[in-house]
A and B are shown apart, each in its own frame.
Chain A
Amino acid sequence: MTTTSTTVRRVADIAHGRSGDKGDVCNVGIVAYDEGGYAELCAHLTAERVKEHFGDLVRGTVTRYEMPNIRALNFVCTGALDGGGTLSLRSDHLGKVMYAWLLRMELPAEVAS
Chain B
Amino acid sequence: MTTDGTSGKVVRLGAGMAFWGDSVKPAADMVRTADIDYLCCDHLAELTMSILAKQKAKNPGFGYTRDVLSLLEGVLPVAIEKGTRIITNSGGANPDAAAERIAELAKDLGLTDVKIAVVTGDDVTSRIDDLMAQGVPFANMDNGRRLAEVRERLTHAAVYTGSEGIVEALQGGADIVVCGRVTDIALYLGPLIHEFGWAWDDWDRLGMATAVAHAAECGGQATGGLYAGGWQDVDGLEELGYPIVEVAEDGTGVITKTPGSGGRVDVGTVSEQMVYEVLDPHNYLTADVTADFSGVRLEDVGPDRVRISGVTGKPRPETLKVNMGYRAGFVGEITFTYTWPDVYAKAQRGLAFLKKRLERVGFEYSDELVEYLGHNSAWGNVIPEPDDPDRTELVVRYAARCADAENARKVFTESVPLYNNGPAGVAGVGTRPPLKELYGLWSSLIPRDHVQQSVRFITV
- A residues engaging B (CB < 8 A)? 16-25, 27, 29-31, 33, 53-57, 63, 65-67, 69-72, 74, 76, 78, 82-87, 89-92, 96-97, 99-101, 103
**Which 10 A-B residue pairings sit nearest by Cβ, starting from the closest?**
A29-B275, A16-B229, A89-B369, A91-B377, A20-B277, A55-B382, A18-B272, A89-B399, A16-B228, A69-B297
B278 touches A74 (CB 8 A): yes
Can you list 11 A-B pairs, Cβ within 8 angstroms, ordered by A?
A18-B273, A22-B279, A27-B278, A29-B276, A55-B382, A65-B280, A67-B275, A67-B296, A78-B142, A89-B399, A99-B228
Shortest beta-carbon distance, A48 to chain B, in Å? 16
Shortest beta-carbon distance, B138 to chain A, in Å? 15
Additional A-B contacts beyond A23-B443, A65-B281 (8; CB < 8 A): A20-B276, A21-B46, A72-B271, A83-B367, A86-B47, A86-B328, A87-B440, A90-B369
- B residues engaging A (CB < 8 A)? 46-47, 50, 142, 221, 226-230, 267-268, 271-282, 293-298, 310, 325, 328, 331, 367-369, 371, 373, 377-382, 397, 399-401, 438-441, 443
Name A's interface SS: mixed
Query: Using Cβ atoms and an 8 Å threshold, which residues of chain B touch A57?
Result: 379-380, 382
Shortest beta-carbon distance, B50 to chain A, in Å? 7
Known contacts A74-B278, A76-B279, A89-B367: A23-B46 contact under CB 8 Å = yes
Name B's interface SS: mixed
Compute how far the CA of A82 lies from the CA of B382 in the bound complex, rounded to whole angstroms: 15
Compute how far the CA of A54 lies from the CA of B383 in the bound complex, rounded to whole angstroms: 10
B296 touches A70 (CB 8 A): yes
A82 touches B268 (CB 8 A): no
Compute how far the CA of A91 lies from the CA of B397 in the bound complex, rounded to whole angstroms: 9
B439 touches A65 (CB 8 A): no
Known contacts A57-B382, A70-B271, A89-B369: A100-B228 contact under CB 8 Å = yes
Query: Using Cβ atoms and an 8 Å threshold, which residues of chain A touch B228?
Result: 16-18, 99-100, 103
Compute how far the CA of A97 lies from the CA of B276 in the bound complex, rounded to whole angstroms: 12
Query: Using Cβ atoms and an 8 Å threshold, which residues of chain A touch B441?
Result: 23, 84-87
Compute how far the CA of A41 lies from the CA of B228 in the bound complex, rounded to whole angstroms: 17
Determine which of A31, A56, A63, A101 lies in contact with B229 in the assembled complex, contact meaning CB atoms within 8 Å: A31
Task: Specify which of B297, B298, B382 lies most central, judged by the most chain A CB atoms within 10 Å of its CB.
Answer: B382
Query: Using Cβ atoms and an 8 Å threshold, which residues of chain B touch A71?
Result: 271
Known contacts A31-B275, A65-B282, A67-B275: A87-B293 contact under CB 8 Å = no
Query: Using Cβ atoms and an 8 Å threshold, which residues of chain A touch B380?
Result: 56-57, 90
Query: Using Cβ atoms and an 8 Å threshold, which residues of chain A touch B280?
Result: 63, 65, 76
Give the residue name and chain of the A residue nearest to B282 (CB): A65
Task: Specify which of A16, A19, A66 lies most central, judged by the most chain B CB atoms within 10 Å of its CB.
Answer: A16
Query: Using Cβ atoms and an 8 Å threshold, which residues of chain A touch B297?
Result: 69-70
